Chains A and B, each alone.
Chain A
């Protein structure tokens, strides 16, 4: 794959510390001392324990504030900065709204570009060759395998991230969440729903 990186769709230039971390992880994994999945799970646990991911707050705000949602869709990076999140090394964050007719999903086909100021760290599967290759070719099959069965009438749009433009999905507000406050809404928004491989979760109690 390394040849592909010299193309237009390039990697960010990685600082030495990033390369060193990668080297350390790959050696420790190779020696069977730790697993990448365990690292993923821990980072997520520590980030989520401390509060909802930044992206979830952005989504919840958009659900309760139509004017904010409008700004978010038109100028994602600026609207996200309104909530104090940013710092993506100059990369633009574009927000894609899911509707009953259109479902958006995000991939980075050549590396692992990801809107990390809002979503934290990319999960290992997002960086996997299988996801990167198949999301574009057969998105519905990939979504189905990840547990999201979409009606045939729903159009699926796949967005390929780059070093300059990162995408985040604005999932649909779940049914039954009408009475919830913004903070409660944020807790329904999973990382996967903002990558577009899941829906935002139903409020607890709904369907019981």
Chain B
């Protein structure tokens, strides 16, 4: 895959703007980059239009602000992706809970 970045993603603005430092994308931890790539890859694979993800992201950011929760941009990004994936019927929250617990307990390793 060598297509160049999608400007609808790189140019999101307002609260949804990607965190940057001196123009470069900033990921505070590897999982943030992974979550970023996952949402973009799902869009590129045609699983949902970017607009759907964007609207979900904006909604999550607004909810977090409302709640005054001390969460980061990519926490909301991940929450948006999860809600969208469940909403589109790609997986269920139960499946995701189970898989998360498997990683947490070490019953499943992160390499293949």
Within 8 A of A (CB), among B1-43: 1-5, 9-10, 20, 22-25, 27-31, 33-38, 40-42
Contact among B1, B44, B78, B108 for A21, CB-based, below 8 A: B78
Q: Is the CB of A19 within 8 A of B24?
A: no
| In the complex, chain B residues whose CB is within 8 Å of the CB of A21 | 31, 34-35, 38, 78
- Confirm or deny: A134 has a beta carbon within 8 angstroms of a beta carbon on chain B: no
Which of B30, B42, B82, B91 counts the most A-chain CB atoms under 10 A from its CB? B30
A42 at the interface (CB under 8 A from B): yes
How many Å lie between the Cα of A1 and that of B106 in the bound state? 9
**B78-A17 in contact (CB<8A):** yes
Residues of B within 8 A of A121 (CB): 27, 30, 33-34, 37
Residues of B contacting A70 in the complex (Cβ-Cβ under 8 angstroms): none
Interface size grouping (class) on chain B: 35 or more
Number of A-B contacts (CB under 8 A): 151
Q: How far is the CA of A133 from the CA of B75 in the complex (A)?
A: 34
Of A24-32, A98-106, A195-203, the stretch lying at the interface with chain B is A24-32
Residues of B within 8 A of A23 (CB): 96, 99-100, 102-103
Digit string of A43-81 for contact with B (CB within 8 Å is 1, else 0)?
101110111001000000000000000000000000000
In Å, the complex CA distance between A186 and B23 comes to 16
Interface size on A, residues (CB 8 A): 48
Contacts of A22 in B (CB 8 A): 31, 34, 100, 103, 110
Residues 56-112 of B contacting A (Cβ, < 8 Å): 74-75, 78, 81-82, 85, 90-91, 95-96, 99-100, 102-104, 106-112
8 pairs across A/B with beta carbons < 8 Å?
A21-B34, A22-B31, A22-B103, A26-B99, A33-B45, A39-B34, A40-B37, A111-B111
Query: For B24, what are the chain A residues with a Cβ–Cβ distance below 8 Å?
Result: 47, 50-51, 54
Query: 8 closest Cβ contacts across the A-B interface?
Result: A18-B31, A23-B99, A39-B37, A43-B37, A23-B100, A41-B1, A21-B31, A121-B33
